[in-house]
Amino acid sequence: MSEKAPLEKFNIKISQCTKCSLRATCQRVVFGSGSAEAQIMLLGEAPGKKEDELGIPFVGSTGRILDKMLEGIKIKREDVYLTNICKCRPPENRDPLPEEVTTCAYWLEKQIQIINPKIIITLGRFALNYFLPQAKISAVHGIILEINTEKIGTIKIFPLHHPAAARINRQTRALFTQDFQKIPTILKQIKKEQ
Residues found near ligand SF4 in the complex (CB under 6 A): 14, 17-20, 22-23, 29, 86-88, 100, 103-104, 107
Percentages helix, strand, coil for the chain, rounded to the nearest 5? 50, 15, 35
Min dist. Cβ of residue 20 to ligand SF4 (A): 3
Which of residues 18 and 178 has its CB atom nearest to ligand SF4 in the complex? 18
In the bound state with ligand SF4, the residue whose beta carbon lies nearer, of 22 and 166, is 22
Q: Which amino acid is at 160?
A: L
Backbone region of residue 77 per phi and psi (left: phi > 0; alpha: psi in -120 to 50; beta: other values): alpha
CB of 136 to ligand SF4, least distance (A): 26
Rounded distance between C-alpha atoms, residue 75 and residue 101, angstroms: 29
Residue 90, C-beta contacts closer than 8 angstroms, at least 6 positions apart: 22, 25, 46, 96, 97, 100
CA-derived radius of gyration, the chain? 16
Task: Tell me how far, at minimum, the Cβ of 121 lies from ligand SF4, in Å.
Answer: 21
Nearer of residues 25 and 178 to ligand SF4, judged by Cβ: 25
What's the distance, Cα to Cα, between the start and end of the chain in Å? 37
Q: Cβ 28 to ligand SF4, closest distance in Å? A: 10
Q: In the chain, which ranges are E strands? A: 33-34, 40-44, 81-84, 119-123, 145-149, 153-160
Looking at the Cβ atoms of 87 and 125, the one nearer to ligand SF4 is 87
Q: How long is the chain?
A: 194
CB of 33 to ligand SF4, least distance (A): 15
Pick 7 or 119: Cβ nearer ligand SF4: 7
